[in-house]
Amino acid sequence: DAGVTQSPTHLIKTRGQQVTLRCSPKSGHDTVSWYQQALGQGPQFIFQYYEEEERQRGNFPDRFSGHQFPNYSSELNVNALLLGDSALYLCASSPETWTGRVSGSADIQYFGAGTRLSVL
């Protein structure tokens, strides 16, 4: 059973460019969350997708946008890249289903290995 997979693993962009990061959730999971982890800091919540819609959003500008597909995979898009966008971007998935809530697993987020984005 594959866990959460993210691609690419590393990415180098220049200021002003746009980037798309991809995430495939763990099998059986339908909710995907994205986090930004700057060097030496804890992850910061960007947004969460459920049923192909953005359900919650953290304190990030509109340059950060996302999408969730019918197969529950997700993309994170960042426009007009800034130097400060350099970070590790983590995707996490969880089962929002009734089964997940009954089993107590709905509240556990499983993380991928991340995409390290460098903006030059």
d(Cα 113, Cα 44) in Å, to the nearest integer? 15
Considering only residues 74 through 93, tell me which ones interact with another protein, judged by CB under 8 A.
90, 92
Is residue 95 reached through a cis peptide bond, with omega within 30 degrees of 0 on the bond before it? no
Residue 83 or 113: the one with the smaller Cβ distance to another protein is 113
Instruction: Assess 95 for contact with another protein (CB under 8 A).
Output: no
Smallest gap, in angstroms, from Cβ of residue 115 to another protein?
Answer: 10
Cα 48 to Cα 39, 44, 52, 94, 106, distances in angstroms? 22, 12, 10, 10, 14
Instruction: Assess 94 for contact with another protein (CB under 8 A).
Output: yes
Q: Which of 12, 82, 83, 108 binds another protein (CB under 8 A)?
A: 108
